[in-house]
Structure 1
């Protein structure tokens, strides 16, 4: 994949957030990632979150949010060196094109650059979402061994990724 076709990630502007609200997700994605409109609106309003869009050129092809925890995450105490990744989703039209891994690489690189004090990225992924689990493993996330109760999607794994080291590069 040439660099011209690699996705980039940016803090969502108002116009980009509006485009992210219109992303098409499959029913299964919605079970795992949640309602995209709620995720965008909630991240845009939360002072301890970044609403992030995934761009391919000028086209918004995905969304995720980064949270900077001020409360306990799983069994682990508050660690201001940790960020959490939530609501990661690419529009259905852009799935299956090999964009997930470079998007996660861009996410990690962006987070490291903007928040060098953050050294760990955490996420919960539904155990039944095997495609996402495989993607996160390929992107350098490791299973912490901790299991979280899940909502409609069932139990979740807590996965962790060190930032600033071992970054995947195209």
Structure 2
């Protein structure tokens, strides 16, 4: 008969089969969001989850969102409704910005990132149906994130935002609602 472990074991990691959903961060979820970690090479692009949460809560134009796999917090992002803050300019259509997007390093590579983008898209469509575009910027050196966002349905507009702390960033867009005027130029459809 084997003896029990000397220390309690961590809860089992979330599996790819766990349903992914997004919810507003509240006081009960905040400690788990603050504990999210990224790989050292991701740090310059995403920073500290705790500081990002504080910034989201301090900004009345933002919503702090937790990414859950089952009941476990596996990620975080911030919705920014002051979209000029995303790319240094306003957009022709009602938009919302996606900022501070992170999947915990121990949960990466399991499909949570793409599932979370789909859950985010569905959440914004449901709660903010007037918004037509989801916008983000991603550092030109962050090839893994660029590829992940493309797989999740974002289009690279070919435009660079030069106001980022870590250098130039690609502006990427995901269509949430059909364009108001289908005959007008569409930054998603017409992306290079």
* Shorter-chain TM band: 0.7 to 0.9
Residue in structure 1 matched with residue 137 of structure 2 by the alignment: 124
1:43 and 2:28 matched = no
Is there any run of 5+ residues in structure 2 with no aligned partner, and where?
1-14, 179-192
Determine which structure has the larger helix proportion and give its number: 1
Higher relative contact order (CA 8 A, sep 6+): 1
Counterparts in 2 of 1:83-102, with a 5 A limit? 83-102=96-115
Contact 1:6–1:99 (8 Å) recurs in 2: no
Paired residues, number: 163
Say which one has the larger Rg: 2
TM-score (norm 1): 0.87
Counterparts in 2 of 1:3-152, with a 5 A limit? 5-69=18-82, 71=84, 73-74=86-87, 76-77=89-90, 81-149=94-162, 150-152=164-166
Residue 78 of structure 1: how far off its partner (Å): 5.5
Is there any run of 5+ residues in structure 1 with no aligned partner, and where?
166-170
RMSD over equivalenced CA pairs, Å: 2.1
Q: Distance in 1 between matches of 2:66 and 2:140?
A: 25
TM-score (norm 2): 0.78
Residue 7 of structure 1: how far off its partner (Å): 1.1
Contact 1:64–1:85 (8 Å) recurs in 2: yes
